[in-house]
Structure 1
Amino acid sequence: MNAIDTRSLKRDSLFLSADLTLAEGGEPVRVKVRNLSDGGMMAEAPLAVERGTRVGIELRNIGRIKGSVAWTQDDRFGIVFDNEIDSKKVREPTAPGEKTPRYVRPSTIAPSSAFQTRDSSLRKI
């Protein structure tokens, strides 16, 4: 799958950490996953990578995925995976009975009940 093919896939915005390893080896680098789709992801880290660099990424509930850097901009870069994944698995609990952390769950547009007024009505200002 190439970078152009992955642009049409639904991306899920989230904030998650993952370990990235360059294909040449070396120690894993902790990156912030900014969005994720079945075909790729956007990561952020103070890491100098170039387009085409081969990487391995360790994602929660999925394991190690191989891919290559599709684009770079400042501290952010896009990775296209060699094989598609089920990106929804990243949001699932890792152990039985464990809840998915709030920062991994999709955000909602409607405010939670903690932010609603007692009579649930809006007042004009």
Structure 2
Amino acid sequence: MNVSRAPHPTGLTSDLADSDRRTSNRHCTVYRIAAVEREGDAGFWRVRNISDNGMMLAASVDVAPGERLQIALSDTARLTGEVVWAENGRCGVAFDAPINASELLKQLAAEQKASSYRAPRLAVRSHATIVTDEGSREVDVVNLSQQGAGLAHEGDLPVGTKLELILEGGIRRRGIVRWSRKGQSGVWLTAPLEQADLESIRRFED
């Protein structure tokens, strides 16, 4: 898709006719978080709106027109597109192929109500420290969500263990081990990580 029109913070381009805006079937999704992957980085960015042809994302990281993005709204809803404008912490993304935005939002709402729903996660490879009643030890963080962390470690880490997780950069959260097997564990964080802390996994990588 060739785009040479001026950027506009409320849509994909500034010169869309009013009729085009009406038929683009735009929906506000202010409170939805997407896991965005791009070359050399990934993070959680906020979805500000979505249409059949594109979406607006908000993040404080540097983004450039022409960047390719893979956008996961859930484990099953994944989109690809290209940044067509970026300014003031927001960017517009044109999808590689049109979607049915209305049906997609219905699907996402249904998924969130399901008992098997799992929030999007970011794949990370970083050292961290956990502190339990037994003392402190080093672990590897293999994935992060706002409410949880996947850990790889030596020895046992029993289900129900209460701990403090200290991430690279000094971010600290208390949590409880929800599952553990063969040197891997999942930790539920009692206070969620801030979305802004997870806009780029580069801050956590060694």
TM-score by length of 2: 0.41
Q: Report the CA distance between 1:10 and its aligned residue.
A: 2.1
Q: Which moved more, 1:58-67 or 1:69-78?
A: 58-67
Higher-RCO chain (CA-CA 8 Å, sequence separation at least 6): 1
**Identity of aligned pairs, percent?**
31
Structure 1 residue runs of 4+, over 4 Å off?
1-4, 95-98
Q: CA deviation at 1:11?
A: 0.9
Query: Match of 1:68?
Result: 82
CA distance in 1, matches of 2:54, 2:82: 9
Residues 61 and 35 of structure 1: is their aligned pair in 2 closer, same or farther, counting only changes over 3 Å? farther
Counterparts of 2:92 and 2:80, CA distance in 1:
13
Q: TM-score, normalised by structure 1?
A: 0.65
Task: Specify which of 99, 104, 110 is matched with residue 85 of structure 1.
Answer: 99
Q: What's the counterpart of residue 46 of structure 2?
A: 32
**Higher strand proportion (structure 1 or 2):** 2
Unaligned runs of at least 5 residues, structure 2: 6-11, 116-206
Deviations 1:61-114 (A, max 9, x none): 75221100011111000000001112122243106667xxxxxxxxxxxxxxxx
Instruction: Decide which structure has the larger Cα Rg and report it.
Output: 2
Inter-CA distance 94–72: structure 2 relative to 1 (3 Å threshold)? same
Matches within 5 A, 1:1-125: 1=1, 7=16, 8=20, 9-15=24-30, 16-22=32-38, 24-26=39-41, 28-60=42-74, 63-88=77-102, 89-91=104-106, 92-94=109-111
The answer as to whether partners of 1:10 and 1:37 remain within 8 angstroms in 2 is: yes
2:25 touches 2:101 (CA, 8 Å); kept in 1?
no
